A = this chain, B = another copy of it.
């Protein structure tokens, strides 16, 4: 298992970690299998989405914040980040990427994003190849 260390800079943020995951795969040396990427946090997750127009990431976080606002009168969790827990549960904490010929097999428009929902924080991402 390899560990990436990530510093986020906003409360909610999508950080492209595709190149870091690819570098970890090269360092491992295996050329065929499944790459499991796992986020060991409860207020962050993983999203696969478009790597081109940054407006996609902006709209995605904007709409998600309108659906699941940071403040709601009925929230009971004292830390005030219930929205982040729900968002991370919805997008999920792992991705499974096919590895062939030493390359991550992804669509031409796809990137792997670390989804920060309660930053800024120092975060980890775990990677294992099977």
A contacts, CB < 8 Å to B: 1, 33-34, 36, 38-42, 47-50, 53, 55-56, 58-60, 62-64, 66-68, 72, 74-79, 82-83, 85-86, 88-98, 100, 105-110, 126, 128, 130
Contacts and interface: CB of A to CB of B under 8 A. Distances in A.
Interface of A is mostly: mixed
B110 A42 contact: yes
Nearest to A98: B128
Contacts of A75: 59, 62-63
B72 A63 contact: yes
Contacts of A96: 36, 38, 94, 96
A56 B34 contact: no
B90 A90 contact: yes
Contacts of A92: 48, 91-92
A94 B91 contact: no
A38 B93 CA distance: 15
Contacts of A55: 76-78, 82
Contacts of A79: 53
Given A56-B77, A56-B85, A77-B53, A93 B34 contact: no
Given A33-B130, A34-B128, A40-B105, 10 more contacts: A38-B98, A49-B89, A55-B82, A60-B82, A63-B75, A63-B83, A63-B86, A67-B67, A90-B90, A105-B126
